[in-house]
Structure 1
Amino acid sequence: MKLPDKIDQIKSYLIQNDFPEEIEAAIILGSGLGDFSTTIDEPFSIPYNQIPGFPHTTVTGHSGELFTGTTKGHKIIAFSGRFHHYEGHPLETTVLPVHLAKAFNAKKLIVSNAAGAINTRFKVGDLMVIDDVFRIFQKVAPAVSQPYRYNLGPVADKVRSIAASIGLEVQRGTYLYAKGPSYETKAEIRAFRVMGTDVVGMSTAPELIEASRLELPAAAISLVTNMAAGVLNQKLDHSEVKAAAESRKDDFAKLVTELIDRL
């Protein structure tokens, strides 16, 4: 399937600057999860603002660097920061990491995010494997509006099995994609719970849908960084994201490392 012309240009620039020509896996690191980059062997990075044709990221918790190196001997690239639709980026731009992963012939894509828990059985710090996505009243661009052709369920089963083998307990459930940037209201969260969703966030769904279109195998993990509006009687605060990510950064890194090697 044809990729946007600028993807070849970006890939050529990266290869000229010591990136490999092919990789095993690409990882998109969500808010507060950029510390995974410190676990990469022989890391090398380029700031987004130095890559021709690359957008910038403006969100707290996203450093805005593209890393390469190896993990368990596998060549990888890792996006420390993503491009959200609510920042003003068109949906075609939000899926640029997926396009670049495909251009580098990645065998797998691992997507992560920070999310708010709708499911009252979840708690802050939980890692949840996404086995389905839900888009509520969202307009999507033609490039990311193709049928969702593969089922995340079997992938979620395998991720949970791998997690269990290294002593990690993970949840699984449905991720609700909301445009943002405002948090959802209490009434909306009550409605989303009735609809059967488990966590809510402002990314990931376009990336998974585009990976499906490109037939790029993908797994997705949410870190529960806060309880959604109305679940607890307290004000939502972005600082919660940093605290929750700090508490689980080692477990997250262990899991992603194993997924790169075994998924």
Structure 2
Amino acid sequence: MELPNYVSEIKNFLVESGFPSSVDSVVILGSGLGDFSDTIENSFSIDYIQIPHFPAPSVQGHSGKLFYGKVAGKDVIAFSGRFHHYEGYSFSKTVLPVHLANLFSAKKIIISNAAGAINTNFKVGDLMVIDDVFRFFHSVPILPSNSFRYNLYPVADRMRKIAAESGLDIQRGTYMYVKGPNYESKAEIRAFRILGADVVGMSTVPELIESSRLGLKAAAISLVTNMAAGVSKGKLDHSEVKEAAEKRKEDFAILVSSIIEKL
């Protein structure tokens, strides 16, 4: 599969800096979820700004560090901070973690995000396994390729079982992808609910699409950090993301560690 030329340069730099040549899993940590890096054993990190061709995240809650270490006895690379299309990056740049996962021969990639709840049965602090996605615009142009399909259901089924085995009660549903950076209007949220979406956010789908194109097993998790516009009376604020993530960081760490071990 075709990858941008600079991806090999990045891997070479990381290996020369102390990263291994291959890992079991790659984790992308969404807004406010960077504390998972504290659970990585024998960890080693490097700032994004030190890595050639790496963008620097500008969103609050994204530290901009790349970690390597052990989780559940397995070699893991974790991205604490992601690159959003609304920050001005091309879609090809937003999926850089997926390209590196492929080049590091990862067996799986775990993609997490902070999301707003559309489903009125959800509440702030819920963890949701993504089993389907909806794109609220025509396409997500990444790289030219033959047509392909992606199916999240088998992985989502297994993730629910893993969560139950770990004593966690989690939701399952459809993620609505919007480009951002503005929060959605009440009218848009009503429309998204009619279309069948359970949560809404501004990331993850490009990574899932590219993982499928490359044949990389992908698991996706949303943390509900706020109720979407019109679902609750409160004003949407990014500080809610950090607060909700802080309350569920231990459960999130248990879930991700269990997925790394068992998926």
Residues 209 and 146 of structure 1: CA distance in aligned 2, closer, same or farther (over 3 Å) = farther
Say whether the 8 Å CA contact 1:144–1:209 is kept in structure 2.
no
Measure the CA separation in 1 of the matches of 2:160 and 2:177: 22
For residues 158-204 of structure 1, the C-alpha deviation after alignment (integer angstroms, 9 at most, x for no partner) is: 00000000110000000000000000000000000000000000000
Measure the CA separation in 2 of the matches of 1:237 and 1:54: 28
For residues 59-118 of structure 1, the C-alpha deviation after alignment (integer angstroms, 9 at most, x for no partner) is: 000000000001111001000000000000011000000000000000000000000000
Find out whether 1:17 has 2:17 as its counterpart: yes
For residues 16-69 of structure 1, the C-alpha deviation after alignment (integer angstroms, 9 at most, x for no partner) is: 000000000000000000000000000000000000111111000000000000
Residue correspondence of structure 1 range 141-160 to structure 2 within 5 A: 141-143=141-143, 147=147, 149-160=149-160
Task: Provide the TM-score with structure 1 as the length reference.
Answer: 0.98
- RMSD value, Cα: 1.1
Shift of 1:139: 3.9
Counterpart of 1:57? Answer: 57
Counterpart of 2:197? Answer: 197
Indicate the percent of aligned positions where both proteins have the same amino acid.
66
Say whether the 8 Å CA contact 2:150–2:209 is kept in structure 1.
no
Counterpart of 2:222? Answer: 222
Counterpart of 1:102? Answer: 102
Measure the CA separation in 2 of the matches of 1:58 and 1:142: 22
Find out whether 1:236 has 2:221 as its counterpart: no
Measure the CA separation in 1 of the matches of 2:118 and 2:152: 20
Residue correspondence of structure 1 range 176-195 to structure 2 within 5 A: 176-195=176-195
Counterpart of 1:119? Answer: 119
Shift of 1:140: 2.1
**Unaligned stretches of 5+ residues in structure 1:** none
For residues 128-161 of structure 1, the C-alpha deviation after alignment (integer angstroms, 9 at most, x for no partner) is: 0000010011442241786452310111110000
Residues 244 and 119 of structure 1: CA distance in aligned 2, closer, same or farther (over 3 Å) = same
Say whether the 8 Å CA contact 1:146–1:209 is kept in structure 2.
no
Say whether the 8 Å CA contact 1:145–1:209 is kept in structure 2.
no
Structure 1 stretch displaced more, 136-145 or 9-18: 136-145
Counterpart of 1:33? Answer: 33
SS of residue paired to 2:31: coil
SS of residue paired to 1:115: strand
Measure the CA separation in 2 of the matches of 1:190 and 1:17: 49
Residues 88 and 128 of structure 1: CA distance in aligned 2, closer, same or farther (over 3 Å) = same
Measure the CA separation in 2 of the matches of 1:145 and 1:232: 42
Measure the CA separation in 1 of the matches of 2:50 and 2:222: 29
Residues 146 and 89 of structure 1: CA distance in aligned 2, closer, same or farther (over 3 Å) = farther
Say whether the 8 Å CA contact 1:57–1:82 is kept in structure 2.
yes
Residues 118 and 147 of structure 1: CA distance in aligned 2, closer, same or farther (over 3 Å) = farther
> How many residues are matched?
263
Structure 1 stretch displaced more, 134-143 or 10-19: 134-143
Q: Where has structure 1 moved over 4 Å in runs of 4 or more?
A: 144-148
Counterpart of 2:129? Answer: 129
**Unaligned stretches of 5+ residues in structure 2:** none
Measure the CA separation in 2 of the matches of 1:217 and 1:63: 26
Task: Provide the TM-score with structure 2 as the length reference.
Answer: 0.98
Counterpart of 2:3? Answer: 3
Counterpart of 2:254? Answer: 254
Counterpart of 1:96, as a letter, is L
Say whether the 8 Å CA contact 1:128–1:222 is kept in structure 2.
yes
